[in-house]
Amino acid sequence: MQGIFQQLTPYLEKAMALTTALTLIEWDMETTAPEEAADATSSIIGLLSDEYFKTIMNDEVKQLLHKIVETEEYKQLTEVEQAIVTQLQKQYDEFEPVPQSEYKAYSELTAKSSGIWAKAKENNDFNEFAETLKEIIYYRKKFATYRQKKGQPLYEVLLHDFEPSFTMEQIDSFFALIKKELVPLIRQITSKNVVIDRSFNHRSYDIDLQREFCIWLSGYVGFDFERGVISEAEHPFTTNLHNRDVRYTNHYEENNLFNAIFSAIHETGHCIYEMNIDDEITQTIVGSGTSMAMHESQSRFYENMIGKSKEFWEGIYEKLQQQFKPVLNDITLEQFYLAINQSEPSLIRTEADELTYPLHILIRYEIEKKIITEDIDVYELPTIWNDLYEEYLGIRPQTDAEGILQDVHWSMGEFGYFPSYALGSAIASQLYHFMKQTIPFEQCLKTGEFEEMEQMLKEHIHKYGMVRNTNRMLKDMTGETFNASYYIEYLKEKYRKIYDL
Amino acid sequence: MQGIFQQLTPYLEKAMALTTALTLIEWDMETTAPEEAADATSSIIGLLSDEYFKTIMNDEVKQLLHKIVETEEYKQLTEVEQAIVTQLQKQYDEFEPVPQSEYKAYSELTAKSSGIWAKAKENNDFNEFAETLKEIIYYRKKFATYRQKKGQPLYEVLLHDFEPSFTMEQIDSFFALIKKELVPLIRQITSKNVVIDRSFNHRSYDIDLQREFCIWLSGYVGFDFERGVISEAEHPFTTNLHNRDVRYTNHYEENNLFNAIFSAIHETGHCIYEMNIDDEITQTIVGSGTSMAMHESQSRFYENMIGKSKEFWEGIYEKLQQQFKPVLNDITLEQFYLAINQSEPSLIRTEADELTYPLHILIRYEIEKKIITEDIDVYELPTIWNDLYEEYLGIRPQTDAEGILQDVHWSMGEFGYFPSYALGSAIASQLYHFMKQTIPFEQCLKTGEFEEMEQMLKEHIHKYGMVRNTNRMLKDMTGETFNASYYIEYLKEKYRKIYDL
């Protein structure tokens, strides 16, 4: 007799095929499609997304799920099958309680909201976006209420969409630690007035040479070109069809070398994660990175622990100089290392250095909590934003575009997402701490031998996809669940050395 | 009350979305996807294709179709709606009579047959492919029988898949004319022993410069970059998602300039056709070129009537010389013109010149007729093939790879397809004849003003997609249905001049 789980297979397979098609269409729109294609192709995306929902959310699947969860069947499933059921159940929990009329109104809203945000940002005027944001907040809160468990903070419902294995209490303590430890450190650095020259980053670097170097660099740290593709788009991003088709984009600017180099290493970290997902799960709904933070931890690990270390550049700085000869002839390795790690409070999150970055996230975290748990007036947000920047980073945005309007996330209804960025860096630090005790880490950086690191990440994290959660994998690998102190320790040690504190 | 036709809309829309996704996935596999992606992505293609068939071929759609065709409803439909019904009905006529077990066996066969053919070609051994070909022939004939009308030649059933508006009798007379008129002309040229030097085509032409020139050239003849994309693949081909997303690939080799240039113009002809499909029909099942021959007529018109004319190069030959300076400095416009039009019997169809090309098709036509209407032993095919080459072109293939194994078509079950290539050239000649009488054609070639030609093609042919058939559009545009004499006239006039006969 066929098990109940097996009866889900045709639905899951069809859903997976549709997801893959949608992923490819979106990749193509960002990298290849001609300008005028957008409208007609969007209608295709709409039709395929509808079909995806119908495939997963219907009475047959619902009944099968119910049978599996409510009977002995669940216990007899393999770990992978259980994870698939959990993941499917999560989609039901998220969408089922929302009345269709509300979901429709919300979809119509978010179909245009990013456009309104982009226009407002262009015009540097938050007021143009305020009413739209108010509506988005209204729906996000309302939808979260449907799923809220008794006694659960409403914001935690949203956090769990991205980090299901963290409680809000844990995240609160995480950001409290960041505030307590990093705000003073940053002040200390700022007040010391050390000048690190990074102006050479804005010299002229031929774009073809940048492309060539960055593609080489990706391969150097472990990008597998038989399973992956590197292309170009307005912004760097990673996407994957399955573990043998993983792609990232970069963006090259003549007068900014660091952007392209560190995007290349960062996105390669994301790609390596997806390339190492196990064959057994790659074409299932659990065949992708386990959480936003875990994904970001991999990209940050490659970007920062590997790519911004001195040892890494000891091995390849000459190659870099050679590539752009003679542009970097007068810059020593030491100068280069300091420049890529210079820390300075700035207004734009995506351009922030490793040390000030988590403060940008702290600010968003505090504001999101206010938005979700208090009935805050959206028109007050710009001032709250600016005040927090002044308080934590000592600088004050002068315009909405460089302040409250800088990120796209809220316009897409993504509340609860930002914390993952900081959690990712913290997880990366914990992995780093563990690896340094396990393998000759610095030696590997110098010689470019990254296989052992990757193998550890693959065996403990990558291959499981979403079958195991972040904390479980951290525990299995490092012996303890998430511990933010390694992050603080890492940043303190690194930046005290750089700024001679 | 909603008409019956409108009830088809959700099925048609979903089918269209799936087709678009499949088209994009296939484009991506040829241009972008990493090497190891093929297997997993093929499983996606399989799932989406299945879903496409289920969407179009099911009891609800069948009943709706039946109601429309059998009632007064059909007459009340618009021309576009009628075309959609006809097109849908055609799919039913093709697939419905085939027993599922046979269709499955055939699908399994063709899933591997191209691979077997490729291997046989690589090993230069027809015997490796013979049994597979035999099976393919068995099924193609069997399936055709299911659709054969009383008294209809079996081969015509297959021809109609590609050219529904031609009878086999017409195509027979067409090839009879080619044989009668062109075989002696080619012999006359061959025996004259005129030497045209085209060796300069194999000098070294920088690939980046070729790419730049070919992209420019596409735009020069009318490629709209806001609606289209040019990429690279192993072989040149055109594909389209809709009229605002039309794409072609080219292939650049350092030692072959002509290949890239004429592929660029040829594929641009295909693209312009698809870009000009009417907005009303672009995202429907009749929103593409009306037949293989008509499509090929457009690409050949651009490639030959425009791109291989002397006037065209009068306008831009200096630019070409400039682009590859100094490689073409010693080649005059006249030498260049003669070289791109040199005619010489050769073994490989895809490399044949304009004059000998239709003989390659004639040979395949005669063989296909034998295959489909006679119980020919496949093991006799190589000899039949070689004998015909000797008879019509005066040269004999020495190996299977340069003979019977050169084309992929049969390995994909495509019988009845080849004639379209020759019909396409003939239609292009008929359009050319008409245009020369209507607009200052040669002047336009010299000055690069192709808008008027394109406008004529758009208004009479392109915009209708599959709503009107080839012969109807030819009649409406030129005042007569297909007439092969213009093709003969065109080739005779052109080649008599070139070879001074």
Calculate the alpha carbon distances from B75 to B37, B69, B284 in Å: 48, 9, 20
DSSP structural state of residue A318: H
CA A250 to CA A243: how far, in whole Å? 20
Active-site residue (options: B81, B156, B163, B267): B267
A24/B283 Cβ within 8 A: no
Chain A positions touching B231 (Cβ under 8 A) are: 32
Chain A positions touching B225 (Cβ under 8 A) are: 34
Measure in Å the smallest separation between the Cα of A265 and chain B Cα atoms.
19
First CA to last CA across chain A, in angstroms? 70
Chain B positions touching A34 (Cβ under 8 A) are: 225-229, 244-246
Chain B positions touching A276 (Cβ under 8 A) are: none
Tokens standing for B52? 């496409």
Percent of chain B clearing pLDDT 70 (strictly above): 100
CA B448 to CA B458: how far, in whole Å? 18
Chain A interface with B: residues with Cβ < 8 Å: 13-14, 16-18, 20-21, 24-25, 28, 32-37, 39-41, 43-44, 47-48, 51, 225-229, 231, 241-246, 282-283
CA B22 to CA B44: how far, in whole Å? 9
Q: What is the DSSP string of A72-119?
A: THHHHS-HHHHHHHHHHHHHHHHHTTS-HHHHHHHHHHHHHHHHHHHH
B81 counts as catalytic:
no
Measure in Å the smallest separation between the Cα of B11 and chain A Cα atoms.
11
pLDDT of residue B121: 97
DSSP structural state of residue B305: I
**Looking up tokens 């914390």, which residue turns up?**
A419
CA A221 to CA A265: how far, in whole Å? 8
- Per the CB < 8 A criterion, the answer to whether B484 and B474 are in contact is no
A241/B34 Cβ within 8 A: no
- Per the CB < 8 A criterion, the answer to whether B481 and B494 are in contact is no
**Pick from A20, A28, A32: which is nearest to B44 by CB?**
A20
Measure in Å the smallest separation between the Cα of A35 and chain B Cα atoms.
5
DSSP structural state of residue B350: G
Kindly tell me if the per-residue pLDDT of B2 is higher than 80: no
Measure in Å the smallest separation between the Cα of B136 and chain A Cα atoms.
29
Mutate to test the interface with A, among B28, B272, B279 (most CBs of A within 10 A): B28
Mutate to test the interface with A, among B32, B48, B246 (most CBs of A within 10 A): B32
Q: Reply yes or no: is the peptide bond before residue B326 cis, omega within 30 of 0.
A: yes
Quick one: which H or E segment has residue A239? strand A237-242
Chain A positions touching B43 (Cβ under 8 A) are: 283
CA A65 to chain CA mean position, Å: 30
Percent of chain B clearing pLDDT 90 (strictly above): 97
Instruction: Taking residues B221-242, report their average pLDDT.
Output: 97
Chain A positions touching B229 (Cβ under 8 A) are: 32-34
- Per the CB < 8 A criterion, the answer to whether B255 and B292 are in contact is no
- Per the CB < 8 A criterion, the answer to whether A10 and A59 are in contact is no
Tokens standing for A163? 């980090």
Across B270-303, b (16+ Cβ under 10 Å) vs e yields bbbbbbbbbeebbbbbbbbbbbbbbbbbbbbbbb
CA nearest to A244 within chain B: B37
Q: What is the mean pLDDT of chain B?
A: 96
Measure in Å the smallest separation between the Cα of B15 and chain A Cα atoms.
10
pLDDT of residue A1: 46
Q: In what side-by-side order are the strands of the sheet with B245-250?
A: B228-232, B245-250, B238-242
Per-10-residue mean pLDDT for chain A, 501 residues long? 86 97 96 95 94 95 94 92 96 92 93 94 97 97 96 96 94 98 96 94 98 98 98 96 98 98 98 98 97 98 98 98 98 98 96 97 98 94 98 97 96 97 98 97 97 98 98 97 97 96 90
Quick one: which H or E segment has residue B158? helix B154-162
Active-site residue (options: A267, A368, A402, A414): A267
Instruction: Taking residues B390-398, report their average pLDDT.
Output: 97
**Identity at B466, one-letter amino acid code:** M
pLDDT of residue B1: 46
- Per the CB < 8 A criterion, the answer to whether A339 and A200 are in contact is yes
Give the pLDDT confidence of B461-478 residue by residue, as tens digits.
999 999 999 999 999 999
**Pick from B24, B34, B51: which is nearest to A25 by CB?**
B24
Q: What is the CA radius of gyration of chain A?
A: 23
Give the pLDDT confidence of B114-140 residue by residue, as tens digits.
999 999 999 999 999 999 999 999 999
